[in-house]
Every structure is written in structure tokens, then in C-alpha cells.
Amino acid sequence: MAGFENLVKKAFYLGVGFASYATEKASATLSELRVQAQKLADEMVERGELSTEEARRFVDDIVRQAQQENVPPSEGTNTKEREPRRIEILSEDEEPSQKKTDNIDSLRQQVQSLQEELRRLKRE
């Protein structure tokens, strides 16, 4: 029974360690993002594209958006919003339209003429 208790403790500590590591990584990534956004804002201020106040708001908005993207949806959100996106799969068996076929033929001719010109230039 002591072996099972030891295993549970190790699993718990592993979970806490993973959570701590993830938090540390997220914090480091967020601070890197802030530094990069600040550099970009400083360059834009230097060029006169932004005022210092606009640059500050720009950096704050970027960091705020990054933080919001990482926040899991709360329990009160609509279940419709939490459903996965639906993806429509198109069949590749469908015949291409005549316009697409003409475009493909035109592109092939252009490639062939460019290849011939390249060969001719290599000989010269």
C-alpha cells in the first residue's frame, strides 16, 4: 500500500511541476512578446508613424490580446461557441471548369517556353 501512496504523491508532484513549468514558459513568452512589441513601437515612433502614447497603447493591446488568447473559456460561455468549427471537405473527383483547364494549359506553355529560353541561354 505504501508503494501506491508513493506513486500518487509522485503523480501529484509531476502535475504540479508541469503546471509550474507551463506558467513559467507562458510568462517568458509573454515577456518576449512585450519586448518585441516595444522594439517595433519604438521604431515606429522614431519614424514618426506613431506618437509615444499610441505606441504605449499598441504594446498594451498586443500583450492584452496575447493574454486573452491563452485564457480558457469559462463555464458560463455559450456551448455553441465552444463547439469545434465545421470544415467542408470538397471532393477532388469533380471535373475542373473549362476556364481552369485553359489557365492550366496557358501556364504549362509559359513554363515550357521559359525552359526552352533557359536552355538557349545556357548554350550561349
What would the DSSP string read from start to end of 18-42?
HHHHHHHHHHHHHHHHHHHHHHHHH
What pTM did the predictor assign? 0.41
Q: How many domains does the chain have?
A: 1
pLDDT more than 70, % of the chain: 78
Cβ neighbours around 55 below 10 Å, total: 20
**Looking at the domain assignment, is residue 58 inside a domain?**
yes
- Domain hosting 66: range is 2-72
**Looking at the domain assignment, is residue 19 inside a domain?**
yes
**Looking at the domain assignment, is residue 57 inside a domain?**
yes
pLDDT tens digits, 47-68: 888 788 888 888 888 888 887 7
Helices (H) and strands (E) in the chain, counts: 4, 0
**Looking at the domain assignment, is residue 49 inside a domain?**
yes
**Looking at the domain assignment, is residue 63 inside a domain?**
yes
**Looking at the domain assignment, is residue 85 inside a domain?**
no
Measured between alpha carbons, how far is residue 86 from residues 15, 17, 83, 119 in Å?
33, 36, 9, 49
**Looking at the domain assignment, is residue 33 inside a domain?**
yes
**Looking at the domain assignment, is residue 80 inside a domain?**
no
**And the C-alpha cell for 108?**
504549362
